[in-house]
Chain A
Amino acid sequence: MTPAQAIVAKELRSAYTSPIIYVVAAVFLLIFGLLSFMYVQAAGIRAIQLIQMQGGAAKINLNDLVFRPIFYFSGFWILPALLPILTMRVFAEERKLRTFELLMTSPVGINHIVAGKFASVFLIYLGMLGLTGIVPVVLAMFNNFDWAPVLTGYLGLLLMGALFLAVGVLASAVTEHQIIAVLVSYGLLILVLLLGVIGSVLGDTPVGNTISYLSFIEHYDRLVRGLVDTKDLVYYACGILFMLFLTHRVVESQRWK
């Protein structure tokens, strides 16, 4: 077992008894479930309207009426609100409780530590996201919707989540206070979100396009609409790696203070 795997195993063991993880997962699933319920109900009302207008069996598109709004809401609201809480403790707590000294004086590279920490929160998130799979599976029993955009939407949620987690891990590394870690992640995420807004204000100019590219909005948008483009995948991969690289530097630099 490599040191990184050891860290993942330990983090998952800690998460298993951590009330915070359960609360975050419960809130995430609750909101996701509630959203699904609301949009499905809205789609049902829409279907009844269509039947009354057209008088025959109406064909309603669940991809447009249910999944796309759920993905937008989850990606732009639920994830930024909840994931920083999932990551706040990863480094901050180690430093507060002085267990950081154990990690830093063990023959383990900092890249292993960062990778282990990130992988563990990612796996927890993967578990939470996996549980939401019940929504499309149940809906699939009643309606023939197109699975492809649902899967790309999930891919979007996965990548967005991973990016937010990487931002959260970085924020947790800069402080020993978990609350500050959460607030720093919120700050960073809002900043990146604003880049998208500024980019769209500037419009289709070279500067505007560049700034838009830096924000996750348009990349996520394409995935939710069912488009898998290499440049979006590259964006997420680079974003995650860059955040983890910064985390590595921050952890390393703390030795020099």
Chain B
Amino acid sequence: MIDVQHITKRYGDRTAIERVTFSVNKGEVLAFLGPNGAGKTTTMRILTCFMPATEGTATVDGFDCTGQPQDVKARIGYLPETPPVYQELTVSEYLTFVGRLKGMKAAALQQRMPHVIEQVSLGDVRHRLIANLSRGYRQRVGLAQALLHDPPVLILDEPTVGLDPKQIIEIRELIKSLAGSHTVILSTHILPEATAVCQRVVIINEGRIVAVDTPEHLSARLRRSEKISLTVKTPPPNFADRLRGIPGIVSVFAPADGGAYLVECALGRDLRDEIARFVVTNGWGLLELKTISMTLEDVFLRLTQHEEGMGEQGSSAVSQETGT
């Protein structure tokens, strides 16, 4: 549905994004993840034909963003970073204007508007001036604007910024419900959001793509060992050493204050069964045993901050945990 090939954008001699390549399948929800200033907005602006790329090609539904911008624009609903609202209009006046601007027929607009207002729950403010709405409502008006002409592709630049937690959940549910029938690209720097709503994540840093994968694969790919947290009621004094005797265990980190032991096993081996049996048969009292999976947050930080250390065995964060 969306195909981006080697796009580069330079502002003067500053390169905003460099040779960015990715594609999005029909019906997929893709998250653009990256720190501020990584090039997320720039990429989105190129896809929405707001500005052309310096090099490379981007196509949406087979239409080229540079050559056939009108066809591309007609297929995209775009929510920019700042919701593009006119403060002097009421919500329904604004949406009417947007509908006309998108070339919707009066009848279609009449039919579609109540539905969209319902989707983003703007019903109770539809006759209020946008100037008097809070940030969260304005954000939702912006979202309504993007959804209004029912485009097959949605490009949402930080859609949940400024919303309260309840609204965030509502909007995420909305985006999830759009998946399948719509192709969605959303940018965010909130990691749980990407895990919650997206099938694939593109991590971008300093204008380059550093990883494209599903959230699960990403954390799996960067995990170098299986880690298990273990809490035992009455461990013997040499518990850590005795644990190391189990084949497959690489290291054991004993807590100073009697908390959870951190057990590191060789990659691909699940030793929970053995550890449990070992503790229980000795009668030390097994309280808790769980695997520690790397969250997307860890992946993100590692990819964007410890790039140079990626090939090494374990980053600073991990070696600190294991205490080796």
Is this pair of chains taken from one and the same complex? Answer: yes
Is the beta-carbon distance between B52 and A256 smaller than 8 angstroms? Answer: yes
Asked if B196 is at the interface of the complex by the 8 Å CB criterion, the answer is no
Asked if B132 is at the interface of the complex by the 8 Å CB criterion, the answer is no
The complex places the Cα of A7 from the Cα of B98 at a distance, in Å, of 9
The complex places the Cα of A104 from the Cα of B100 at a distance, in Å, of 14
Given A98-B80, A99-B84, A107-B70: A255 touches B52 (CB 8 Å cut-off): yes
Partner of A10, one of B71, B76, B97, B106: B97
Residue ID in chain B nearest A15 by CB atoms = B88
Is the beta-carbon distance between B101 and A103 smaller than 8 angstroms? Answer: yes
Interface residues of A in 21-50 (CB under 8 A from B): none
Stretch from B43-51, B254-262, B284-292 contacting the other chain: B43-51
Is the beta-carbon distance between B106 and A1 smaller than 8 angstroms? Answer: yes
- Residues of B with C-beta under 8 A to A7: 101
- Residues of B with C-beta under 8 A to A10: 86, 89, 97
The complex places the Cα of A1 from the Cα of B99 at a distance, in Å, of 10
Is the beta-carbon distance between B97 and A109 smaller than 8 angstroms? Answer: no
Most chain A CB within 10 A, of B11, B76, B84, B88, is at B84
Asked if A17 is at the interface of the complex by the 8 Å CB criterion, the answer is yes
Is the beta-carbon distance between B73 and A3 smaller than 8 angstroms? Answer: no
Residue ID in chain A nearest B81 by CB atoms = A98
Is the beta-carbon distance between B89 and A107 smaller than 8 angstroms? Answer: no
Number of A-B residue pairs at CB separation under 8 A: 77
Is the beta-carbon distance between B100 and A6 smaller than 8 angstroms? Answer: yes
A86-111 vs B, CB cutoff 8 Å, 1 = contact: the mask equals 00000000000111111111111100
Residue ID in chain B nearest A255 by CB atoms = B51
Given A13-B93, A107-B74: A102 touches B100 (CB 8 Å cut-off): no
Most chain A CB within 10 A, of B73, B74, B100, B106, is at B100
Is the beta-carbon distance between A3 and B88 smaller than 8 angstroms? Answer: no
Give the distance to chain A from B240, nearest Cβ to Cβ, in Å.
Answer: 58
Interface residues of B toward A: which range?
20 to 34
- Residues of A with C-beta under 8 A to B74: 107
Interface residues of A in 98-131 (CB under 8 A from B): 98-109
Interface residues of A toward B: which range?
20 to 34
Give the distance to chain B from A183, nearest Cβ to Cβ, in Å.
Answer: 25
B9-43 vs A, CB cutoff 8 Å, 1 = contact: the mask equals 00100000000000000000000000000000000
- Residues of A with C-beta under 8 A to B49: 104-105
Residue ID in chain A nearest B90 by CB atoms = A13
Give the distance to chain A from B247, nearest Cβ to Cβ, in Å.
Answer: 60
Partner of B102, one of A9, A107, A256: A107
The complex places the Cα of A257 from the Cα of B11 at a distance, in Å, of 7
- Residues of A with C-beta under 8 A to B84: 97-102
Partner of A255, one of B50, B88, B100: B50
Partner of A104, one of B50, B102, B103: B50
Give the distance to chain A from B92, nearest Cβ to Cβ, in Å.
Answer: 12
Is the beta-carbon distance between A6 and B89 smaller than 8 angstroms? Answer: no
Given A108-B101, A255-B50, A255-B51: A99 touches B85 (CB 8 Å cut-off): yes
- Residues of B with C-beta under 8 A to A101: 45, 50, 78, 80, 82, 84
Is the beta-carbon distance between B50 and A18 smaller than 8 angstroms? Answer: no
Asked if B187 is at the interface of the complex by the 8 Å CB criterion, the answer is no
Asked if B57 is at the interface of the complex by the 8 Å CB criterion, the answer is no
Interface residues of B in 44-74 (CB under 8 A from A): 45, 48-52, 70-71, 73-74
- Residues of B with C-beta under 8 A to A99: 84-86
- Residues of B with C-beta under 8 A to A102: 80, 84, 98, 101, 145
Partner of A105, one of B50, B88, B89: B50
Asked if A52 is at the interface of the complex by the 8 Å CB criterion, the answer is no
Partner of B103, one of A3, A9, A13: A3
Residue ID in chain B nearest A104 by CB atoms = B50
Given A102-B145, A105-B49: A6 touches B80 (CB 8 Å cut-off): no
The complex places the Cα of A30 from the Cα of B201 at a distance, in Å, of 62
B95-111 vs A, CB cutoff 8 Å, 1 = contact: the mask equals 00110111100100000
Give the distance to chain A from B2, nearest Cβ to Cβ, in Å.
Answer: 15
The complex places the Cα of A177 from the Cα of B91 at a distance, in Å, of 26
Interface residues of B in 278-304 (CB under 8 A from A): none
- Residues of B with C-beta under 8 A to A98: 80-82, 84
Residue ID in chain A nearest B78 by CB atoms = A105
Partner of A106, one of B45, B51, B86, B102: B102
The complex places the Cα of A108 from the Cα of B72 at a distance, in Å, of 11
The complex places the Cα of A97 from the Cα of B89 at a distance, in Å, of 14
- Residues of A with C-beta under 8 A to B100: 1, 3, 5-6, 9
- Residues of A with C-beta under 8 A to B80: 98, 101-102, 105
Give the distance to chain B from A146, nearest Cβ to Cβ, in Å.
Answer: 44
Asked if A14 is at the interface of the complex by the 8 Å CB criterion, the answer is yes
Partner of A17, one of B51, B81, B88: B88
Partner of A3, one of B50, B71, B81, B101: B101
Is the beta-carbon distance between A9 and B51 smaller than 8 angstroms? Answer: no
Query: Can you list 7 A-B pairs, Cβ within 8 angstroms, ordered by A?
Result: A3-B100, A7-B101, A10-B97, A18-B88, A97-B86, A98-B80, A257-B51
Known: A14-B89, A98-B82, A108-B103. 9 other contacts (CB 8 A): A97-B86, A98-B81, A99-B86, A101-B78, A101-B84, A102-B80, A102-B145, A105-B49, A107-B73
> Which 3 pairs across A and B sit closest by C-beta, in order of nearness?
A6-B100, A102-B84, A107-B74
